[in-house]
Amino acid sequence: MKFKADEIASVLTGEIANFQGQLQTAEVGKVIEVGDGIARAVGLSSAMAGEMVEFKSGTRGMCFNLEENSVGIVILGDYLKIQEGDEVKTTGALLSVPVGESMIGRVIDPLGNPLDGKGPVITDQTRPIEFPAPGVAQRQPVKQPLQTGIKAVDAMTPVGRGQRELIIGDRKTGKSAVAIDTIINQKGGDVICIYVACGQRASSVAGIVEALREKGAMDYTIVVSASASDPAPLQYFAPYAGAAIAEHFMYQGKHTLCVYDDLTKQAQAYRQMSLLMRRPPGREAYPGDIFYCHSRLLERAAKLSDELGGGSMTALPIIETLEGEVSAYIPTNVISITDGQIYLEPSLFFAGVRPAINVGISVSRVGGNAQTKAMKKVAGSLRLDLAAFRELEAFAQLGTELDKATQTQLDRGKRMIELLKQPQYEPLSFADQVISIYAGTKGYLDHVPVARVAEAEKQLLQFIRDEKSEVRDALLNTKDLSGDTENLLKAALEAFRARYKYETAPAAAAAPTAAAAPKAEPKKAVAAH
């Protein structure tokens, strides 16, 4: 074998020409104290706030407190592997999370490590978990609806793309259920969903992932989980990691939905970290910057201007109250940051009204801008009807004789309450919601006994689908309840009323479809929650 000297010489010449002396430097310090997920190190004089550091064991941490003689580090992982005297070195990088299409359908921790046993997440793109929120000039008003599939929400507290709508209530009142139904309702749409489980029980997260998988929602959903057994720093960073993953898609012009379940636990994790770091406590022992902690997270939700691609990130933060105390520190903070709130009331929940939305306290500050024209037309009268019903109900409890008109209004109000009940994991399409609410507010269900309204609604929607599909198609195509469409809908409702005769005894329904099977449905719906 002969060597060609000129070839070797040309390769060497090329290598020498392209040679760049790259010197990698890292400042090395020493751990002087460790415990409770917090470490203190000396010798890192040039460390920056928020910079990643690496311990001898391979565990990573983040510079949280920069003090005169030492650096306070929050440990992102198992702090039991770190001992006093261990070396710790700076990395010069900010805390980042992997992003990209390969994340969809996966369950990960806030650092991007997979938790679903499906192997590593293969992506070469990362994004810092802390990122400045878009400015005023980079946004546009919220005008496009994000359908939740829940009648009471879409009609009275609508959510638009780029909005921040708070879900607030006591524990076990169906807060997560509202958020999960919203994610399931995006099936077949163009919204990528990120569900952040922060401080939840691992079994609850597993149940939610399984429910999403059953409904086919994991095809467009990413779950970021920092369970109750994870260290406080991971629980604190989880919502920011979720926001960073959503931002990657938003800046590509796509639409995203971020659910933070829940920010109360994140605030408690941040309080724990701050107190261990000896930061001065404020109200309810939370640190002074707890408001900024939530505001810089929620301000990242936006509808971007057309110049930036018109992408959006909708945030559904969840806050848990104690004994309905909406005026506590964290709830009032988050209420003041968001564009409205959906308040879930325990008394309604236990009375069987599910979702247990208190229509009086719940608001959407975007309002009709986040609704289609058809929904705006039918929902306007719904709010008024319910408000009038609440007044009359209080009056009727006095036991006074009521005239026929008042009694009719009272009866219709009861049917509307029944109509707004909805089983879990069964979101309705926009057209079905409009048909259902229109039928209720215009009195087409007045002949149905209150106990059988849910059954009648099911039969009505099935009747429209099977025999009057042109009504549904017109609603879906035009998104408006114009004169022609309304006439078609009225004719269909008249036909339904003529065919289905409901009597007080459940067994005496005229139609074969009103048999025993659908009758048991409302009970099942209650149990599902």
20 Cβ contact list (under 8 Å, min separation 6) = none
Are 352 and 146 spatial neighbours (Cβ–Cβ below 8 Å)?
Answer: no
Q: Which amino acid is at 304?
A: L
Measure the CA–CA gap between 251 and 304, rounded to whole angstroms: 8
Cα-to-chain-centroid distance, residue 79: 31
**Whether the bond into 355 is cis, omega within 30 of 0:** yes
Phi/psi region, residue 506 (left: phi>0; alpha: psi -120 to 50; beta: rest), is: alpha
Q: Which amino acid is at 207?
A: G
Measure the CA–CA gap between 458 and 501, rounded to whole angstroms: 15
CB neighbours of residue 416 within 10 Å: 18
Are 91 and 51 spatial neighbours (Cβ–Cβ below 8 Å)?
Answer: yes
Check if 283 is active-site. Answer: no
Backbone phi and psi for residue 518, each to the nearest 5 degrees, phi listed first: -65, -25
Measure the CA–CA gap between 444 and 459, rounded to whole angstroms: 13
Are 272 and 278 spatial neighbours (Cβ–Cβ below 8 Å)?
Answer: no
320 Cβ contact list (under 8 Å, min separation 6) = 168, 169, 170, 171, 175, 262, 264, 265
For residue 386, give the nearest of 173, 228, 152, 219 by alpha carbon.
152
Measure the CA–CA gap between 254 and 246, rounded to whole angstroms: 9
> 60, 365, 390, 465: which one is catalytic?
365
SS3 116: coil
Measure the CA–CA gap between 422 and 114, rounded to whole angstroms: 34
Are 336 and 323 spatial neighbours (Cβ–Cβ below 8 Å)?
Answer: no
Q: Known catalytic residues?
A: 365
